[in-house]
Each structure stands twice: as C-alpha cells, then as structure tokens.
Structure 1
Amino acid sequence: MTTAREIMTPDATCIGADDSILDAAKKMASLGVGALPICGSDQRLKGMLTDRDIVVKVLGAGKDPATCLAGEFAQGEAVTIGADDDAAEILRTMSEHKVRRLPVIDGHTLVGVVAQADVARALPDAQVGELLEALSS
C-alpha cells in the first residue's frame, strides 16, 4: 500500500501568514513551485497559496502584492492528507475537493506536499487518468 509519506515532496516550505504576496511570489520563483502552504505564527497550516491566486486575486484585482498578506488568502480550513493515508485516500481527497496539491500532515506538523505530479509518478496510469478526469470536470 503506497502512502502519502512515500510519494510526497518532503520538507514543504511555508509562507508566513504575515508575509507579503510579493515575498510569496519571490519564494515560489526561487523554489520553482506553483504553490506554498500558508503557516501561521503558531506554525500551523492555514491554507495554500497558488500562483493562480496571486495572478487572479491580487494582480487581476488591481491590488498591490507588496501590501497584501498571504494570510488573507487562506480560505477556511485547508484540505490535507495524513502522512500514513494510502493512495486511495489521496485520490479520493484530491478528486472530491478538486485540488492538485495536498499538504501532508503528521499530527499537527506539515511534513510535505503531495502534488498531482507526485501521484502521476507513483501510481498506475489508470488511477492517474481517473484523477485527471475528476480534476478537469
């Protein structure tokens, strides 16, 4: 049984809830990623910030990325997966919530992120195809 811990990208880098969107964009660029977990001062996960959020909700809305805070874009409770949850749970959660990235939690600690690309590398083509279909509909 393949678990989230086995296929995740470990050591996810957070953006602080009080950090600016400009800082988040710079961090995404330097890391070569399209999303960052948003963590509060308590180091707990508050949500996910995507490059699309930056373009649509900040730049597209005429807001200044230097003055907008990442925490403003944490939308309710983050959709997560447990580190020891199996592949079926990963697929179900991604499909049900229509998300391409899942923060991986061990207790209350963020330990990594499972992205659609991680799933594609680790799981059989049929399962990956079903996920892509669910995310595209």
Structure 2
Amino acid sequence: MISDVMTAAPQALPLDSTLDEAARVMRDEGIGDVLVTYAGRLCGVVTDRDIVVRAVAERRDTSLTPLGDVCTAELTTVRPDDDTGTAVRLMCEHAVRRLPVVDALHRPVGIVSLGDLAVADGGGPNVARPLHEISKAAPNS
C-alpha cells in the first residue's frame, strides 16, 4: 500500500505564498517540490524547476509572485490505501516521478516518489521499466 512507502506530512504552502517562501522550504528541507494548497486541500505542486523556468527565466519577482502563478494545477494523485502498482502505472502514464497522496477530502497526507517505490520493490521489474520510461520522457513545462 502507498501508506507503507510514502513520505508522510509533506511540505505544503498556501496558494498565495510566494516563490521565495517555497524556495526556502525546498532549501531547508532538501527537497525539490512543495505541495500547494487552498483551504487545506491540494490544488497544485511547485518544483524547483518551475521556479527557474516559469519565474526566474521570465524575470518575475520571486518575492512577490504567488505559487498560484507558476504551480502545476493538473495533478495525478493517489490515496494512502492504493496499491504501489497503481502508483507505478500512473507515474509511467503521466511521466511523473512523484505523486501527491491525498485523503478523501483531497487534503495532502503524503507524497510518494519513484525512488520510494523502487526501494519497496527492491528495484525489481515493476519499477525498472517505468523508471527508464519516465527518465527519457520530456520534462513537464
């Protein structure tokens, strides 16, 4: 089950937080993404790459730009009780390396990465093929 391999209590910030705030959380926690919430419910994700490509390269003021302006809002998610095979399949289908884990009210409760699944599977074929496919996929812009 996803709940067995996910990272619980993921870092999340409200939609109106700034890119600077998200960057500081990423730096301080040693992570590459922050979940974005509105009224406690998941509404997006912002990555370090999003900050660079969608903000810095566009010369946006990161101290004023809210996460809502650059985050990815169309997300694929899983539930804590989903099986790990579902997560691997979704990662492969959507060419993503991590999936937010949400509860029935769409509140973020965790995040699961391809690495988490590889460790859980012992790096077996259920993860090796998707890892190869996801790695060669074009990055989301």
TM-score by length of 2: 0.89
Q: Which residue of the partner structure matches residue 14 of structure 2?
A: 16
Query: How far did 1:74 drift?
Result: 3.3
Q: CA–CA distance in 2 between the matches of 1:62 and 1:98?
A: 28
The number of residues matched between the two structures is 134
Query: How far did 1:120 drift?
Result: 1.8
The reply to whether residue 28 of structure 1 matches residue 26 of structure 2 is: yes
CA contact (8 A) 2:85 2:126 kept: no
Matches within 5 A, 1:56-135: 56-108=53-105, 109-125=107-123, 126-135=125-134
Query: How far did 1:87 drift?
Result: 1.2
Q: CA–CA distance in 1 between the matches of 2:20 and 2:134?
A: 28
The reply to whether residue 47 of structure 1 matches residue 13 of structure 2 is: no
Unaligned runs of 5+ in 2: 137-141
Query: How far did 1:60 drift?
Result: 1.2
Q: Which residue of the partner structure matches residue 139 of structure 2?
A: none
CA contact (8 A) 2:88 2:114 kept: no
Q: Which residue of the partner structure matches residue 136 of structure 1?
A: 135
| Identical-pair percentage | 34
> Can you list the C-alpha shifts for 1:69-101, whole angstroms capped at 9, x where unaligned?
001223343210111110110001111111111
CA contact (8 A) 1:45 1:78 kept: no
Q: Secondary structure at the match of 1:113?
A: strand
Unaligned runs of 5+ in 1: none
Q: Which residue of the partner structure matches residue 6 of structure 1?
A: 4
- The ranges of structure 1 where at least 4 consecutive aligned residues each deviate by more than 6 angstroms after the TM superposition are none
